[in-house]
Structure 1
Amino acid sequence: MFVVLLAAAGFLSAFTVVEYTAVAPTWQVDKGHSSVAFSVRHFFASVIGTFDEFDGTVTFDPEDLEGSSIDFSIKVASVNTKNERRDNHLQSADFFNAEEWPEMTFKSSNITKSGDQYLAKGEMTIRDVTKEVEIPIQFLGQMEHPRRAGSYIGGFATEFTIDRNEYGVGTGNYAATATIGGEVKVTINLEVNRSDS
């Protein structure tokens, strides 16, 4: 009898050390319903453009921020300001140097809550420069897909500014600094999808 009780105690204690850990769900960017836009001053007016090729993965759960992360990349050669000559110049060594550094990236190190939004801290790399930045993120909500059982749709948005000079974009021997503003406003809207099946 003693042996049976001892075995039962060992069996129960084995279960007490096992903890259930919730895993933040992984969302894939729906590129057809998302956008990456920017604006920068040229003399007095602002030029507005987009990057049309991008991709990313968002692992996010508002109840599990420690397990949440963002990994996002943008193809520099996809820059689109509706002016082919200007777009080619932006891809050149005077600006992004798309041939040598074809992607801009952001990888978060941690995500925290701040009021009604979230802050994603991490490394942003443009050209050969990597800087630690903090990006405000709005979680717009989630819902079950109305046409696909077990699938969900979510939304995220962010708006922030960067100083292009800090990343070596349009500086050096090119005199763009006299006509082009240093501050670039970036606006990103993401529709994301995930499936539990």
Structure 2
Amino acid sequence: MNKTIPSLVMLGSAASLAAAETYVIDPAHTVVGFSVKHMMVTNTRGVFGDVKGTVVADPNDLANSGVEVTIGVASIDTRNADRDTHLRSADFFDVEKFPTMSFKSTKVEKRGEGYVATGQLTIKGVSKEIALPFTVSGPITDPWGSVRYGLEFEKVKINRKDFGLTWNNVMETGGLVVGEEVTIELEVELVKQKPQE
């Protein structure tokens, strides 16, 4: 890791590092969402609104990139205040002890028309490797002169119990109130960081 950019995972040679550009996540145009089965019949959906992150990328070789994202867990929103309070509690995310979750890439590879970012997903203090396939749109220059990219990720499934999210109840029919498999849905917009004056 380059000590001058401690929050980023850098890949490639020193020459590639010199060509790298820094981009930040635009939270107003980024979606970090999820869905999980409710009582075995429908999906409950939610989003996290507090998303911060940085990508360092070589525009000539996007596979030579590093990614780090941090999410404020208390920002969870499933459109039900009581449920959101329960999700923030020690039964689930325990935000008092674990206020953030994160993803930190270890490599980004070209695959077909897109890319795959592999790295460590950390939730509730537990880190597991995860692969996130995505495609890239852009770059474009917005009306204010900022360079932007869009990243659209394929849906990825994880088992919440792998990350210590184990709470559940059993219905009279024998089914679980909350499914164990969680689908992650991501859309990210990046803005090139302008040099500090």
**Given the two structures, how large is their TM-score scaled by the length of structure 1?**
0.81
- Checking the alignment, whether the CA contact within 8 Å between 1:118 and 1:137 is kept in structure 2 is yes
Of Structure 1 and Structure 2, which has the larger fraction of its residues in helix?
1
Q: Summarize deviations over 1:119-149 as a string: whole Å, max 9, x none.
A: 111111000211111111221221122332x
Say whether 1:146 aligns with 2:143: yes
Secondary structure at the counterpart of residue 53 of structure 1: strand
Secondary structure at the counterpart of residue 78 of structure 1: strand
- Checking the alignment, whether the CA contact within 8 Å between 1:70 and 1:108 is kept in structure 2 is yes
2:32 alignment partner, one of 21, 33, 36: 36
Secondary structure at the counterpart of residue 95 of structure 2: coil
In 2, Cα distance between the equivalents of 1:153 and 1:134? 23
- Checking the alignment, whether the CA contact within 8 Å between 1:24 and 1:64 is kept in structure 2 is no
Q: Which of the pair has more CA radius of gyration?
A: 1
In 2, Cα distance between the equivalents of 1:141 and 1:26? 15
In 1, Cα distance between the equivalents of 2:24 and 2:187? 13
Secondary structure at the counterpart of residue 28 of structure 2: helix
Residue 9 (structure 1) aligns with: none
In 1, Cα distance between the equivalents of 2:36 and 2:157? 10
**Unpaired runs of at least 5, structure 1:** 1-18
**Given the two structures, how large is their TM-score scaled by the length of structure 2?**
0.81
Residue 25 (structure 1) aligns with: 21
1:134 alignment partner, one of 128, 131, 134: 131
Residue 6 (structure 1) aligns with: none
1:153 maps to a residue whose letter is R
Q: Summarize deviations over 1:40-82 as a string: whole Å, max 9, x none.
A: 1102000111111111011223633564111001111110011
* Runs of 4+ with deviation above 4 angstroms: 19-22
In 2, Cα distance between the equivalents of 1:76 and 1:20? 37
Aligned length, in residue pairs: 175
Residue 159 (structure 2) aligns with: 163
Identity of aligned residues (%): 36
- Checking the alignment, whether the CA contact within 8 Å between 2:24 and 2:193 is kept in structure 1 is no
**Unpaired runs of at least 5, structure 2:** 1-13
CA RMSD of aligned residues (A): 2.0
